[in-house]
A and B are shown apart, each in its own frame.
Chain A
Amino acid sequence: MNKVLIKNGTLILPQTDRIMEADVLIENGVIVQIESGIKDVKAEIINASGCLVGPGFINLHVHFREPGEEKKEDLLSGSRAAVKGGFTSVLCMPNTQPPIDSPLLISYLLSRIREVALVNIFPAAAISLGLEGKAMTDLGLLKDAGAKALSDDGKCVKDSRLLYRIMTYSKYFHMPFILHEEDRDIAGEGQVNEGSVSVKLGYRPLPKVAEDSIMARDLVLAHSTGATVHFTHLSTAFSVKLLEWFQNQGAKVSADVTPHHLLLDDQSVIHYGSLAKVKPPLRDTSDINVLKEGIQRGIIRILASDHAPHTLEDKEGDFNQAAFGISNLEIAIPLYVKALIDDETVNWLEFWKLLSLYPAQFLGLAKKGSLAIGMDADITIIDPDTHHEVKVNEFVSKGKNCPFDGWQLRGWPVATLINGKIIMKNSKLEG
């Protein structure tokens, strides 16, 4: 029998809006008792005094690059980074090589996950075959095989008819969409936000309208078809306004933001060079303010990280040739603490809802996202006060492409339990 007892922590219960001082007893992967002063001599003890204990964080947007690009990341290195980052579940985007667009590939991925993964890794499947935007995938069969959502992440679905049809069709299977919004015709070869930086540095501009216009189309489609649609990595102020308007119309639409879009603006490219080259591009301070306001007002209900590991070769040299993306999985939580807790955009309870309860609800994970008896013992423990410096060369992720090197951050995850097993303790990976 495998028992773990978490002592003296401050428990965060997002599902009931409560914070309490108590112990948590876990037995065989399930939370069995939440009370003060639990004693159990057989249980392994975690002393969580001074720490926050809550349901494990769930990240709706990561790239673990398997199959095909294991140089950048793989399921093992990615899941180690997740554990370090306090994430107990992640959703992998399907833009691998080959793209995850068939039930067979889902089955393959799930068998690899069973073999190597340290965290719960859920696969998303492609919306269109080969991510080509031409024909829809077998979404019913994909769901039966284990796909949790549909996404052509990396690009938008350009063909309106295709998206309209598949959204209509998806209702039969209750499959949610995760959309990456960028109109390629407008974006062209755009590299950075259109504005003073693109002018000053002479990089091709990627205007906000590329994101906003296609998002507007897809909000209309979602509203009209009744599909469940999530917009990932919002970056513009206007997209938040659009989202709110359609939410008020009753559309089943939601969104997430990444930590880098909250902490860095487009000027960062001057400083960090291609390490700050990302899609969508970093925007203006005014956008950041509206994104934060959107979080505060409950319009944006999910925090994801778009963990996009690359080799340094992919990021070096010619800025225009450098890959888009930031590796951030193991520092996403302290980054969010800096972006949202430090300036009181949200409190810890709300923080935990955005990172655990709401993403669990979106993915339909009934046994996750809550700290309660009977739930899966996926638990993250955070030390809210101790500051550490970000050291990118110590990342367990293969992706060292990260502009936050040297930042002093607080709110680091110190322990991570998955299905009742301690995978990280005292900030160290077990085993």
Chain B
Amino acid sequence: MVKWQHKHLLGIDQLSGEEIGILLEKGSQYRDWLEQSPKGSKRLEGYYLINLFFEASTRTRISFEMAGKLLGMEVVNFTNELSSINKGESFRDTMLTLAQLKADALVIRHQSSGIPLYISQFLPFHIINAGDGMREHPTQALLDLLTMKRDGIDFTQNTVAIIGDILHSRVARSLCLGLKKLGSQVIFSGPPTLIPSGIEVLGGQVVYPVEEAVRYADVVYLLRIQKERQEAGFFPSVKEYNQFFALKENRKGFDRGLKKIMHPGPVNRGLEIDSSLVEAENSLIEEQVSCGLAIRMAVLETLILEG
């Protein structure tokens, strides 16, 4: 068994397949554990967690908060209050002020790529990246992998088609890296304007059209399409996006019975995916949320007790 040796979770890029395996193993146990009621563990009692979200987020923040509380941690959330913290301070000074609060772990989301790595160089906490710009979102990738694993997917015999706005997506980057480390194949598809050149560096392959990508996939992973992308001219209209790039019941190459459907949420029903497919039998979208809670418990515990 490999020994865990990371103080921080900054990205999937830094982890080996075995290390991902450790987290998935533990995450899977917590996922089972979550089914009991009442629940509550004192594994991390007395430890303090700061949730620091510079970017709007509800589900990830709540998921971390609950994960910490279920393990007995004290959790402090900073979101909208940030502006009153800094009052003209530099970002670095704000971070150094936080350092004096003597917490144990810091979950951070920031709109700029690379911020978690930067602060990990001088803050005394365990840093957990909850999404940085267009770079990484490691706990999302881990929860996706956990969802697949628990669904019985053999990673070495698995092809995942990630469809949509790859360009702006940290989820696509982290997930692709994770899947490749576990031996899966990754396909990207979507409007060519939203698939960056150089994407192959992640180990995935670009396949057009969407029908072909879906045909080869065991798992179809849709990304959320933000309305701003249309306004910025990446695709002409919601109607056209839905017609050509969304997952639809009648999409050629899509066999409802054989393919699993995933989505990081929140879902735009009727935009990137037909509403009826969100809750389809082969949809893992709801399970992804529960796995998210479980994997974040696993991450907190592993970093704090072993990192």
Q: Is the CB of B192 within 8 A of A172?
A: yes
Which residues 227-249 of B sit at the A interface, judged by CB distance below 8 A? 233-237, 239-240, 243-244
| A168 located at the interface, meaning its Cβ lies under 8 Å from any Cβ of chain B in the complex | yes
Q: Return chain A residues, CB-CB under 8 Å to B235.
A: 136, 169
| B193 located at the interface, meaning its Cβ lies under 8 Å from any Cβ of chain A in the complex | yes
| B114 located at the interface, meaning its Cβ lies under 8 Å from any Cβ of chain A in the complex | no
Chain B residue with the shortest CB-CB distance to A139: B236
Q: Is the CB of A165 within 8 A of B234?
A: yes
Q: Is the CB of A138 within 8 A of B240?
A: yes
| B307 located at the interface, meaning its Cβ lies under 8 Å from any Cβ of chain A in the complex | no
Q: Is the CB of B192 within 8 A of A140?
A: no
| B72 located at the interface, meaning its Cβ lies under 8 Å from any Cβ of chain A in the complex | no
Chain B residue with the shortest CB-CB distance to A171: B192
B287 CB to nearest chain A CB (Å): 32
**Bound CA span A137–B239, Å:** 11
Given contacts A141-B243, A172-B208, A172-B244, contact A165 B193 (CB under 8 A): yes
A138-B239, A172-B208 known, 11 other contacts, Cβ within 8 Å: A135-B233, A138-B237, A139-B240, A141-B243, A165-B233, A165-B234, A168-B193, A169-B191, A169-B192, A169-B235, A172-B244
Q: Return chain B residues, CB-CB under 8 Å to A169.
A: 191-193, 234-236
Q: Return chain B residues, CB-CB under 8 Å to A140.
A: 240, 243-244
Q: Is the CB of B233 within 8 A of A172?
A: no
In the complex, 18 of the A-B residue pairs with CB atoms within 8 angstroms, ordered by the A residue number, are A135-B236, A136-B236, A138-B236, A138-B239, A139-B236, A139-B240, A140-B240, A141-B239, A141-B240, A161-B233, A165-B193, A165-B233, A165-B234, A169-B191, A171-B208, A172-B191, A172-B192, A172-B208
| A162 located at the interface, meaning its Cβ lies under 8 Å from any Cβ of chain B in the complex | yes
Chain A residue with the shortest CB-CB distance to B209: A172
| Proximity bits, B179-213, A CB within 8 Å = 1, else 0 | 00000000000011100000000000000110000
Q: Return chain B residues, CB-CB under 8 Å to A139.
A: 236, 240
Main secondary structure of the interface of B (DSSP, over half): loop
Q: Return chain A residues, CB-CB under 8 Å to B239.
A: 138, 141
Q: Return chain B residues, CB-CB under 8 Å to A138.
A: 236-237, 239-240
How many residues on B have C-beta within 8 angstroms of the other chain's C-beta atoms? 14
**Bound CA span A135–B231, Å:** 8
**Bound CA span A168–B243, Å:** 18
Q: Return chain B residues, CB-CB under 8 Å to A168.
A: 192-193
A152 CB to nearest chain B CB (Å): 14
**Bound CA span A165–B51, Å:** 38
**Bound CA span A140–B208, Å:** 14
**Bound CA span A141–B239, Å:** 9
Q: Return chain A residues, CB-CB under 8 Å to B237.
A: 138
**Bound CA span A315–B234, Å:** 41
B233 CB to nearest chain A CB (Å): 5
**Bound CA span A141–B208, Å:** 17
**Bound CA span A144–B237, Å:** 15
Q: Return chain B residues, CB-CB under 8 Å to A162.
A: 233
Q: Return chain B residues, CB-CB under 8 Å to A166.
A: 233
Chain A residue with the shortest CB-CB distance to B230: A135
| Proximity bits, A159-177, B CB within 8 Å = 1, else 0 | 0011001101101100000
Q: Return chain A residues, CB-CB under 8 Å to B192.
A: 168-169, 171-172
Q: Return chain B residues, CB-CB under 8 Å to A144.
A: 243
Name which of B233, B236, B237, B244 has the most chain A CB atoms within 10 A of its CB: B236
Chain B residue with the shortest CB-CB distance to A141: B240
A253 CB to nearest chain B CB (Å): 19
**Bound CA span A94–B191, Å:** 25
**Bound CA span A161–B232, Å:** 10
| Proximity bits, B213-237, A CB within 8 Å = 1, else 0 | 0000000000000000000011111
**Bound CA span A171–B236, Å:** 14
Which residues 121-146 of A sit at the B interface, judged by CB distance below 8 A? 135-141, 144
A180 CB to nearest chain B CB (Å): 21
Going nearest first, the 9 A-B pairs with the smallest beta carbon separation are A138-B240, A136-B236, A138-B236, A169-B193, A140-B244, A165-B233, A168-B193, A168-B192, A141-B240
**Bound CA span A144–B239, Å:** 13
Name which of A136, A141, A162, A172 has the most chain B CB atoms within 10 A of its CB: A172
**Bound CA span A136–B193, Å:** 12
Q: Return chain A residues, CB-CB under 8 Å to B208.
A: 171-172
**Bound CA span A166–B233, Å:** 8
**Bound CA span A172–B209, Å:** 7
A101 CB to nearest chain B CB (Å): 10
A116 CB to nearest chain B CB (Å): 30
Chain A residue with the shortest CB-CB distance to B237: A138
**Bound CA span A138–B240, Å:** 6
Chain B residue with the shortest CB-CB distance to A161: B233
| Proximity bits, A362-400, B CB within 8 Å = 1, else 0 | 000000000000000000000000000000000000000
Name which of A135, A162, A165, A166 has the most chain B CB atoms within 10 A of its CB: A165
**Bound CA span A389–B236, Å:** 50
B189 CB to nearest chain A CB (Å): 10
Q: Return chain A residues, CB-CB under 8 Å to B244.
A: 140, 172
| Proximity bits, B151-192, A CB within 8 Å = 1, else 0 | 000000000000000000000000000000000000000011
**Bound CA span A168–B196, Å:** 11
Q: Return chain A residues, CB-CB under 8 Å to B240.
A: 138-141
Name which of A138, A139, A140, A166 has the most chain B CB atoms within 10 A of its CB: A140
**Bound CA span A136–B244, Å:** 16
Q: Is the CB of B209 within 8 A of A136?
A: no
Chain B residue with the shortest CB-CB distance to A173: B244
| Proximity bits, B22-38, A CB within 8 Å = 1, else 0 | 00000000000000000
B249 CB to nearest chain A CB (Å): 18
Given contacts A172-B208, A172-B209, A172-B244, contact A137 B191 (CB under 8 A): no
